Amino acid sequence: MIEVVRIPALSDNYIWLAHDDASGQTIVVDPAQAEPVLAAAAARGWTIDAIWNTHWHPDHTGGNAAIKDATGCTVIAPSAEAAKIPTADRLVAEGDVVKLGDHAASVLEVPAHTAGHIAYYLPDESIVFVGDTLFAMGCGRLFEGTAEQMFANMQRLAALPGDTTVYCAHEYTQSNGRYALVAEPDNEVLAERMAQVDMMRAQGLPTVPTTIELERATNPFMRAESVEQLAERRAAKDSFKG
């Protein structure tokens, strides 16, 4: 079994620390900062063996250098973004496999938020680390890619088993849900989910990870029926003030 620990960082980031007890190996996904990661690992007696980056943005790579200096870990990053992640030791692309102990993670190319964005999917643990591609009830902004790419990403992730746990990198659920209610006002499952999200956030509780099944039912971007509809929804969310 892999134990995954949520580490809040910056204003709304989540860094994921994943540990395989059988091998004793530990990886960190998208470290925005080093200090909270090193503290969380030390508190558990874990040694960080690798960093898995999903994309180059500083709020996902900002802790790379300090963690690498402190632990000697290997930084694994998308090959298409090598020039923007100078700390990378190993570059990976679609179809490559990275390991946490005996657990194999397949690299999935999911560009759109950034040109070389990747995800890490561990089928034997039903886990996917998606960075800023998929959020609870949302998707990443199209900074370096297209609606066509994001639509393909949503379809690809939706095809994963429904019980797959989705570890995204931000606490955007409440704001995403407010837009989702506008996009799909008759979605009763969505309305029920938002009531729960509002209650959780009022108590200061995190709302991620999520699951593929839950996103299929409530995420207006995963539920978009065409590229055009996804593009319309993404543009509307970009300017949404609710």
What separation in angstroms does the CA of 101 have from each of 50, 104, 209? Answer: 11, 8, 22
pLDDT band at 242 (very low <50, low <70, confident <90, very high): confident
Q: Return the percentage of the chain with pLDDT > 70, whole number.
A: 100
The first and second tokens of residue 129, run together, are 């680390």
Over range 165-185, report the average pLDDT: 97
Instruction: Give catalytic status of residue 20 as yes or no.
Output: no
Is pLDDT above 90 for 122? yes
Q: What is the DSSP letter of 170?
A: B
Instruction: Give catalytic status of residue 124 as yes or no.
Output: no
Comparing C-alpha atoms, which of 75, 35, 25, 26 is closest to residue 54?
Answer: 75
Is pLDDT above 90 for 219? yes
At 135 the pLDDT is 98
- Is 238 labelled a binding residue? no
- Is 21 labelled a binding residue? no
Is pLDDT above 90 for 129? yes
Domains with residue ranges and CATH for the chain = 2-239 (3.60.15.10)
pTM > 0.85: yes or no: yes
Instruction: Give catalytic status of residue 117 as yes or no.
Output: no
Report the chain's mean pLDDT, rounded to a whole number.
98
- Is 132 labelled a binding residue? yes
Instruction: Give catalytic status of residue 60 as yes or no.
Output: yes
**Under 8 Å CB-to-CB from 68, ≥6 apart: which residues?**
51, 75, 87
Phi, psi for 207 (deg, rounded to 5): -115, 5
Cis peptide before 209 (omega within 30 of 0): yes
Distance CA 52, CA 44 (A): 20
Is pLDDT above 80 for 220? yes
